[in-house]
Structure 1
Amino acid sequence: MTKQDIEIKTQDGTAKARLFRPAAPAKAGVILYMDIFGPRPALDQMAERLAGHGYAVLVPDLFYRYAPYGPFDPKTAFAEEKTKAALSVLSGGTTQGMTIRDNAAFLDALAAEGVGGPIGVVGYCMGGARALNAAATHPDRIVAAASFHGGNLASDAPDSPHRKAVSIKARVYVGVAGVDRSFPPEQSARLAEALRVAEVDHIIENYVGVGHGWCVRDHSVYDEVGAERHWRRLTAFFGETLG
């Protein structure tokens, strides 16, 4: 496995990203959309693990417009007013529309690195909605889209992913935290209805007993049993759709 730091020219500037490659030629490319705490060792480890399954994994910095920032410790960031305010600025100021604009550059960056063909996407926390919106925006390229503890996947906001379900051609997997204020049961039902009406091949699975952020090792609510279940689901999902 190798990793390289790259810079991606977007419509709004230059996004730093890290690309993880398997030892053998990659079966397919994957974009991993970060959670609110940004690129860091915990996400690198997750990308490395995916690369170990044969995928070239791109982890772009979605907050590049505000760089430099952080780093943040997920265990304490929301307990301290200064870091809580900084995260609010970063997440609130980086809209879905901005990431939707960036996605073409992310896909082009993979192609420029020799990673063509069908692409998979996976997002955590704020990255979950971005993964689904990416699938809706690039149905010709993205064939698999997964979200884990993604927030606001079917909110009242005009950029909520469920509103674009009709444009999604990818298979969709949504792993839901058992208790998650950012994705309550009524949103889950709304997303399920939108995907079903749009005839999207999808699974929405409830991980009972885990909290928002359970998949990521440096989160305070990290749950090893639940995280390993997430890995089994994700690798099987990508195995079926990306090979």
Structure 2
Amino acid sequence: MYADGLGIRPVLREMARELAGHGYYVLVPNLFYRHGPAPVIELPDRLGEEVRPAVFARLMPLIEAHTAERVLSDADAYLRFLTAQPEVSAGPVAVTGYCIGGLAAVRTAAAHPGQVAALASFHGPVGADGPDSLSKLTAEVHFGHAESDLTPEALDELNQVLDAAGVGYTSEIYPGTVHGFTMSDTDAFSASGLKRHWDRLLPLLGRALANG
């Protein structure tokens, strides 16, 4: 489970516990471990518009330093760790991510087609690496987009790329949502968006990891 740009904090731990409660071993890596333990900067209890600019002024250099090369190097290590844990079943894994974590999830799945069986990204820039990256996917995919992040026309273009690549997927705009809608500690939070996220994510994992 790749965090959004705010990193590991109570809301991510809550979401990981929710997922673990369904029988999954959940790893939530600190994307910014090169800069220190999580949280790498002091975060407010709630991210409102009045504090967002100052918080992201400090976070953006860390986000920009987390290059595609670093994402892939780290993903290799995370997958090695998971396969070495006695509690983890043999078989495929799933990756899910939020915001920039959604892009990290796409990159991980594309780089490990034989190991990653399910990919989910929520309000993430999933097409940022271009069509070639999406064409490498073999996992079953769900993309949940914020209404403020993607126009219907852009959604059609993205889905055409997935169709052309032969990817099994669902890709939809969540009505009435803005970027960050899954995160209950931000002003972007949408209770209906978060519920829809679980309604899409859990069946996906159930199908893809059933033989794990």
Fold conserved (TM > 0.5)?
A: yes
- Cα offset, 1:162, TM superposition: 3.4
Q: Compared with structure 1, are the counterparts of its residues 80 and 121 closer, same or farther at alpha carbon in structure 2 (3 Å cutoff)?
A: closer
Structure 2 counterpart of 1:71 = 42
Structure 2 counterpart of 1:39 = 8
SS at match of 1:172: strand
Paired positions, count:
205
Residue identity matched to 1:71: E
Q: Compared with structure 1, are the counterparts of its residues 120 and 161 closer, same or farther at alpha carbon in structure 2 (3 Å cutoff)?
A: farther
Which residues in structure 2 correspond to 1:120-135 (within 5 Å)?
120-135=94-109
Does residue 106 of the first structure (1) align with residue 62 of the second (2)?
Answer: no
Structure 2 counterpart of 1:24 = none
Rounded Cα–Cα distance in structure 2 between residues aligned with 1:215 and 1:61: 18
Rounded Cα–Cα distance in structure 1 between residues aligned with 2:169 and 2:183: 23
| Residues 78 and 84 in structure 1, CA contact (< 8 A), matched pair in contact too | no
Q: Compared with structure 1, are the counterparts of its residues 140 and 80 closer, same or farther at alpha carbon in structure 2 (3 Å cutoff)?
A: closer
Which residues in structure 2 correspond to 1:53-202 (within 5 Å)?
53-68=22-37, 69-73=40-44, 75-76=47-48, 79=51, 81-114=53-86, 115=88, 116-151=90-125, 153-155=126-128, 160=129, 162-180=131-149, 183-202=150-169
Residue identity matched to 2:187: S
Rounded Cα–Cα distance in structure 2 between residues aligned with 1:84 and 1:78: 12
Please state which structure has a larger fraction of its residues in strand: 1
| Residues 163 and 194 in structure 1, CA contact (< 8 A), matched pair in contact too | no
| Residues 154 and 187 in structure 1, CA contact (< 8 A), matched pair in contact too | no
Please state which structure has a larger fraction of its residues in helix: 2
Question: CA RMSD of the aligned region, Å?
Answer: 1.8
Rounded Cα–Cα distance in structure 2 between residues aligned with 1:201 and 1:80: 36
| Residues 48 and 186 in structure 2, CA contact (< 8 A), matched pair in contact too | no
Rounded Cα–Cα distance in structure 2 between residues aligned with 1:124 and 1:132: 11
Which residues in structure 2 correspond to 1:192-231 (within 5 Å)?
192-231=159-198
- Cα offset, 1:166, TM superposition: 2.3
Specify every segment of 5 or more residues in structure 2 that has no aligned partner in the other structure, as ranges.
Answer: none
Q: TM-score, normalised by structure 2?
A: 0.90
| Residues 154 and 188 in structure 1, CA contact (< 8 A), matched pair in contact too | no
Q: TM-score, normalised by structure 1?
A: 0.79
